[in-house]
Amino acid sequence: MVIDTSGVGVFLGLDVGKSTHHGHGLTPAGKKVFDKPLPNSEPKLRAVFEKLAEKFGTVLVIVDQPASIGALPLTVARDAGCLVAYLPGLAMRRIADLYPGEAKTDARDAAVIADAARAMPHTLRSLELTDEITAELTVLVGFDQDLAAEATRTSNRIRGLLTQFHPSLERVLGPRLDHQAVTWLLERYGSPAALRKAGRRRLVELIRPKAPRMATRLIDDIFDALDEQTVVVPGTGTLDIVIPSLARSLAAVHDQRRALEAQINELLGAHPLSQVLTSLPGVGVRTAAVLLVTVGDGTGFPTAAHLASYAGLAPTTKQSGTSIHGEHAPRGGNRQLKRAMFLSAFAALHDPASRTYYDRCRARGKTHTQALLRLARQRISVLFAMLRDGTFYEPRLPETVAA
């Protein structure tokens, strides 16, 4: 959303930090009126904002990090009657290359932010006032993504060890590490020797309460894998120590994510847009929460094309002379939103309309990734219309999509 800077008296760029922010103020004519460090405390920030407003009129506060360490100055600026905006990091890095010198200092960054807002207001992003639910969701979604990364790291470590010492066993257990029965089993029997010693019948009885349908099949697959390897790789004995510890960590992370999902679901249910978002095929609780914290109600984007560009889902073509390369996803955009839309597009392939659109792209010679990219872009337009009109997703027949 383009910000109107016609009535701004001072462009105050803030290079935010943990303990202090560096502020650089410019008038519309480019005259420097402020250039000092600012403590990260409400009284100091408020005093500067009010003093500049009293002397020059409307103050536009621009930051390069709107969340975390930039949350307090933005909140204080709004409360003091200032306008606020956000200069994306990628845009700032490109603009900074236009200025002389190679120094990387807080003062220089603040000056670049202020001058970019003054001379190139089209590079700014608007920052809507965040409500309490969205603010809480932002924290919970960030924590959930940290837990997901930790689960992936631990799973990869377990799979790496199993591949090193018993590849056949890894092929059975590795793809099933997200299942509670498998992590519970590895917590108690972490090595091939421990599994074999426990016995087939006993293991089936132990995990049947946790996996009634797959208990017998899983244990049969495990013992078939154990029989495939007759030699013992040196160092296998350490698995009795390492694997159970990693399995306990993985199970704890999964428990935390399940509890966190319940909290996110509860918060999401209290938001008026929750049912609108979850009505879109492939959008679950976690994806809906990501969409809410990154897109909001969609009013910050004039068109679906603006939203697609913000998400980094507008396909770009690279051309040099007569050489034209295929479509690629831009490197920029909001990574969190891009990942959510891409994964939800993959999850929506069971939807007849989405599947038909995907199959059409594949029939035209697009790769799997390119087809998913196009589907995610098409779903951005649908999402934008749903948020704009406040309406639920309306399934369309495959014939309609093909037409």
Residue 134 is predicted with a pLDDT of 81
Those residues with Cβ within 8 angstroms of residue 293's Cβ, 6 or more apart along the chain or in another chain: 134, 137, 138, 141
Q: What angle do CA 236, 239, 245 make, to 5 degrees?
A: 170
Q: Which of 80-84, 145-149, 153-157, 322-326 has the lowest mean pLDDT?
A: 322-326
Residue 64 is predicted with a pLDDT of 82
Q: Examine the pLDDT at 235 and tell me if it is beyond 70.
A: yes
Residue 319 is predicted with a pLDDT of 64
Residue 360 is predicted with a pLDDT of 93
Mean pLDDT of 137-163: 95
Which of 20, 1, 24 lies closest to 11 in space, CA to CA?
24
CA Rg, the chain, in Å? 27
Residue 30 is predicted with a pLDDT of 92
> What is the C-alpha to C-alpha distance for residues 237 and 221, in angstroms, rounded to an integer?
22
CA trace torsion 170, 171, 173, 177 (10° rounding) = 100
Mean pLDDT of 353-379: 92
How confident is the model over 287-315, as pLDDT tens digits?
999 999 888 888 778 889 888 888 888 76
Q: Examine the pLDDT at 399 and tell me if it is beyond 60.
A: no
Q: Catalogue all structural domains in the chain, each as residue range(s) with its CATH number.
A: 10-127 (3.30.420.10), 135-266 (1.10.287), 274-402 (no CATH)
Mean pLDDT of 61-82: 85
> What is the C-alpha to C-alpha distance for residues 190 and 198, in angstroms, rounded to an integer?
11
Q: Examine the pLDDT at 217 and tell me if it is beyond 60.
A: yes
Mean pLDDT of 148-167: 96
Bridge partner residues of 39 (DSSP): 20
This prediction has a pTM of 0.73
How confident is the model over 88-127, as pLDDT tens digits?
776 777 787 777 777 778 888 899 899 989 988 888 877 7
Split at pLDDT 50, 70, 90, the class of 363 is very high
What is the chain's mean pLDDT, rounded?
88
**Of the ranges 93-102, 227-236, 267-276, which is most confident?**
227-236
Q: Which of 38-47, 163-172, 190-199, 312-321 has the lowest mean pLDDT?
A: 312-321
Burial 122-142 (b: 16+ CB within 10 A, else e): ebbbebeebeebbebbbebbe
> What is the C-alpha to C-alpha distance for residues 377 and 37, in angstroms, rounded to an integer?
42
Sign of the torsion formed by the C-alpha atoms of 392, 398, 401 and 403: negative
> What is the C-alpha to C-alpha distance for residues 28 and 366, in angstroms, rounded to an integer?
48
Residue 328 is predicted with a pLDDT of 60
